[in-house]
Amino acid sequence: MIKDGDDEDSSSPEVKLSLSPESGSLIHYYQCKLNKSKEEEQAEGNPSASKFPKRETYSIGRANTTSRLFSSPIRRSTSNTYSNLRFNFKPEKYPMLEMTDFLTIQNEAESHCSKLFHLKTAELDSSSWKIPPPDQLYIHEKWKIEELIAMKNELNKTKGQLENFDIDSWHKHTQLCNPAHKISNFFRYKAKPELLTQAFLKFFEVLHAFTLVPEFDNFANSSFRTLHLCEAPGAFIVALNHYLSLHRPNIKWQWLGNTLNPYFEGTPSTECIADDRFILHTLDNWCFGNDETGNLMTLDYLDELIRRVGRNNVDLVTADGSIDCQENPAEQENTTNSLHFCEVYSALCTLKEGGCLVLKKFTFFEVDAICLVYLICCCFKKVSIYKPITSKLGNSEVYLVALSFEPSVIELYMNTLRMHYGQKLGNVALFSLEQIPSNFITLIKECSTFFKERQVKAIERNIYLYHNPSEKNNQYVDLLKSMVLETFEENNSCRPIAAGQRIVLQNMKWDYNIIPDRHNTKWGGQIKKETS
């Protein structure tokens, strides 16, 4: 069941955690976790050793970035003054918190806003990263790396603790505890975007964190062309328009979107996004294919898509697709691999030299995901894994951002890859483990550890807060939200655009076009009915 980009409306009102007599302290909880980790290390006789050597990652900001070691948050002096606090807040608003609490919260906010891991840069040695000859692909049995499988099992064990919670109660709780909870209402008030969803905010962050749009404003003889896969309801497109209107107002922009067709009679309502407020007014910019399904996982649709945009003619491809994994959440990575391969292959067919790819991914524990990421790293000069501030802490969602596409690297392999388009690989792997350089495998292990540890910590934090509601914990979470909001505002342009710069003009209807019996209504008839 293909599921397009996050369409959750980010308009939930700001509310407080429920108050009850203090039964626990979040500071005390983290201190216990730290002491426990130290005791375990000392028992092993090597208290300072870490599983992988420390390497640098970077915080993201409008100004110069500062390097930090990803293995632990910045530790600051705990003097009794406020000179070490870079965030603006009123201490008297949080009477139950002490100076050490403020510093702990600041460290947590900085850690939350710095989830970035570089897989390939000019500084990293990737000279041995080569794709094997075409006849050496898809001929080896699948393999596994026990260390990564152990990480997968640990993460799933942590997720398994959530099965005992009422789903509605837990969902409400995690919304309230989300460090990014204040951002959507703030951005709605400050920037007045066209279509504000979580997907809008996430891609808006990606646009500010990476150079996805050329630095110059004017294309002399061409346009800035973008392709958006699994895009409904259109939040990435609207976010890009908002960004371009603020930073590249003179650029000539052409875009095309893909999604499962919400008007096609054969598309089950459970498999597509019903919110067509944006699609309804921009139909000429959407490609549903000759069969009108919009199904990216068929070769017929792919060929029609290439015909529409041109081969190697696109500057930026975004792919925000997923598949409903509720029946088997422990296998999210394997369930989504086929779709992700189709998204990547479509990008390789359509991107021009120097183009960029933004791909939603999850974990990198098993062979298919590792091989796909390695393929991408061989075709692009820079590859990073990024979790935006507004991406929910407790899920595995990350975005792979690949810059500077090199089509000549992959040209000889396209026919071989096409043979497996939309197919399940069974027990066959794209590459053997021996064909992938060891330093790439080391980076994958480090990257998986980096994001897995933060996800586990977030889930455990939410469980602790669920069982220990207190005024002090309420103040802790509220201050954390404020610090995260301040960082988001610093890093992103939270300004409105002119009414004339919107894609859908304000005098056009922005309401849902959901018809209860839409499966008995022809596409053309429905559009005529709604626009007449």
What distance lies between CA 154 and its chain's CA centroid? Answer: 22
Residue 375: how many other CB atoms lie within 10 Å:
22
**DSSP summary character for residue 93:** G
The answer to whether the annotation marks 320 as part of a ligand binding site is yes
Phi, psi of 118 (to 5 degrees): -90, 120
Query: What are the φ/ψ torsions at residue 449 (nearest 5 degrees)?
Result: -65, -45
Rg of the chain taking only CA atoms, in angstroms: 24
Question: What is d(CA 393, CA 15) in angstroms, rounded to the nearest whole number?
Answer: 19
Residue 101 annotated as lining a ligand binding site:
no
| DSSP state, residue 197 | B
Catalytic residue among 360, 445, 452, 472: 360
Residue 190, number of CB atoms within 10 A of its CB:
13
**DSSP sequence for 53-87:** ---EEE---SS---EEETTS-------SSSTT--S
Helix, strand, coil: what percent of the chain each, to 5? 45, 10, 45
- How do strand 351-361 and strand 314-319 relate by DSSP bridges? parallel
Say which DSSP state 196 is in.
-
Q: Give the dihedral sign, CA 424/428/432/433.
A: positive
Q: Which residues contact 285 (CB under 8 A, 6 or more apart)?
A: 255, 256, 257
Residue 234, annotated ligand binder? Answer: yes
Task: Report the alpha-carbon distance of residue 110 to residue 157 in Å, rounded.
Answer: 27
Which run of H or E residues covers position 218? none
Closest by CA to 293, choosing from 252, 260, 251, 247, is: 260
Taking the C-alpha atoms of residue 198 and residue 12, their distance in angstroms, rounded to an integer, is: 11
Q: Which residues pair with 490 in a beta bridge?
A: none
> Residue 348 in 3-state DSSP?
helix
Q: Among residues 419, 384, 432, 400, which one has the least CA distance to residue 336?
A: 400
Per the CB < 8 A criterion, the answer to whether 372 and 344 are in contact is yes
Q: What are phi and psi of 119, to 5 degrees?
A: -90, -35
DSSP letter assigned to residue 52:
S
360 is catalytic: yes
Pairwise CA distance, residues 423 & 298, whole Å: 9
Q: Which residues are catalytic?
A: 360
Q: Which residues are annotated as a binding site for S-adenosyl-L-methionine?
A: 234, 253, 320
